[in-house]
Amino acid sequence: MTSLSLSSLIEKSDWRGVDQRLKSKPEEASIVVPTNFKGTTYALHRAICVKTNPIPRKILLVLVHQFPSALDLNVFIGACENPQLSNGSMEILLDRSNNEIYQTVQCNAQILASKAVQNKNVHTVHFFIERFPNILNDEILLIHACKCGTPEIVEKILAAGLRYKVGKAGGLFRKNYHKEDALDVAIKCYDEKDDNSRYILVTCLQYANAAKIKMEAPHPDYPVILAALGLVPPQIFRSFLKLYRNEITDMIPAERYAILKGIKIKMKDRNDHMMPYIFKSRILINACRNRDLELVHRLLNESIHKACEDFSEELIEASNTKTDITKNALDVALELLDGKNRTSRKILKICIQYANAAKLGIKSPPSNYPTILAAVGFFPERTMHKIVKAYQYEVVEMCENKNMFAFKRVIKMVYEDVKYAIRLDSRCLYPLSTNARRLRLKRNPYPLQTILSERYLVNEEEGKEA
């Protein structure tokens, strides 16, 4: 029986047979393999392209050792197109390259990494961004990954971007020639029925949110709903509410209240934030000034059932003192807050809770609603410190869950930097549907060719296209 040639053994992924063949006939490693390709193809080229049962590192070392001249740029192109090739194999190829090939690979690292992205080759993308981190300085690689890569590839690029400090959120907000960043592209490519595009968007949102709330990196347990709040169009947020409803179910009541308030703040009209009429009434203002806790509670409770102007004559007569109505009852209650006076704390708490309930469109405040959370949106940030101090015991009770992501996120969202918020929230203008068509960039800065093609790779020595 005639023994198989080296090329045939490689085609069958018989690496044991390849090893034996190289020991008995090492010269076959230098024999040209007939192909339709105009260039020269050797056994090493064929071995690199095997996807089913890819070449082991040990055999790869033997092949390279037997005929090092086969280790050219085409080998790296083939490696980028083979997602099954290990990271260790790429290290062998680069470490065994001569100086000329190494320099050419380095010069074309971004193009090769983009080719690996297109072929969903996670290991090779990771290899290139670790060996040549300067490729992270161009936004195109990340944008390309958001368009046609995988969530794992996007995460590796963003994580490396954070480590090498290429920009906010690992370079997520760097604009391309269309004035769009990677998050824009991930949003445009979102399809509710496509898990790959959804997880890519989720990855981008986690990094965007981490940057927004000044976290060093995304927390592994951070809820997707919170990360998306205020960063995606309403259509996508509704989609996330449906897909990640289990996150809300698993939250403690305080976190669920925070989610609801965050949604109301971001998605309701500004007119919904107006103070209820009852807080401008002389009756309630004077009750707060007189620290009449029972009357304050009675007035606010009665305001739920009928308009302020319909209060009984008895209550109106009880408010015969001249009152400055340029301030509302909430402001007055805050001015009179005394940390040592329990009545003043209770009056402010009741006012805050009822004002918040009106803003949220619920009839009466839930008994376990955190006062500090209820106060968010009614007072400037400097005033919130005073309120936090007065009701810090509630924070201690809530922080059985040490992270309290929802609580912290909503407070940060309300008082975040205005310019930053406007820039991010402008994405809500995108007219998207769950079956949005994929974004097609007008110009591909990295023409990704098929295996064994050098036409678009720059020869560093010549300084022009080969």
How do residues 359-410 score in pLDDT, each as one tens digit? 777 778 887 788 888 888 788 777 887 888 888 777 666 655 555 676 667 7
pLDDT at position 163, please? 94
pLDDT at 295 over 80: yes
Helix (H) or strand (E) holding 164: none
Q: What is the mean pLDDT of residues 232-251?
A: 86
Q: Does residue 372 belong to any structural domain of this protein? A: yes
Q: Is position 6 within any domain? A: no
Is 39 strand, coil or helix?
coil
Residue type, 62: V
Residue 448 lies in a domain: no
What is the structure's pLDDT at 162? 94
Which residue did the predictor score with more confidence, 140 or 277?
Answer: 140
Total domains in the chain come to 1
In tens, the pLDDT along 404-452 reads 676 667 766 665 544 444 555 556 544 333 333 333 333 333 333 443 4
Q: Rounded to an integer, what is the distance from CA 122 to the centroid of its chain?
A: 19
Answer yes or no: is pLDDT of 306 > 60: no
Instruction: Please check whether residue 113 lies inside any domain of the structure.
Output: no
| Residue 254 forms part of a structural domain | no
pLDDT at position 347 is 93
E strand or H helix at 357, and its extent?
helix 342-360
Task: Pick from 144-153, 252-261, 275-284, 388-397 the range whose average pLDDT is largest.
Answer: 144-153
Does some domain include residue 373? yes
Task: Give the angle 66-70-71 at the CA atoms, nearest 5°.
Answer: 100
- The answer to whether the beta carbons of residues 319 and 282 sit under 8 Å apart is yes
pTM of the model: 0.72
Compute the CA torsion angle 310, 311, 312, 316 (nearest 10 deg).
-120
19 lies in some domain:
no
Provide mean pLDDT across the span 64-84: 92
Residue at 383 is within a domain: yes
Among left, alpha and beta (phi > 0; psi -120 to 50; other), residue 291 is: left
DSSP letter for each residue of 266-293: HHS-GGGGSPPGGGG-HHHHHHHHTT-H
The parent domain of residue 335 ranges over 271-400
pLDDT by residue (tens digit) across 125-165? 999 999 999 999 988 999 999 999 999 999 999 999 999 99
Asked if residue 174 lies in contact with residue 160, where contact means CB atoms within 8 angstroms, the answer is no
State the pLDDT at residue 5: 87
Confidence label for 302 from pLDDT (cuts 50, 70 and 90): confident
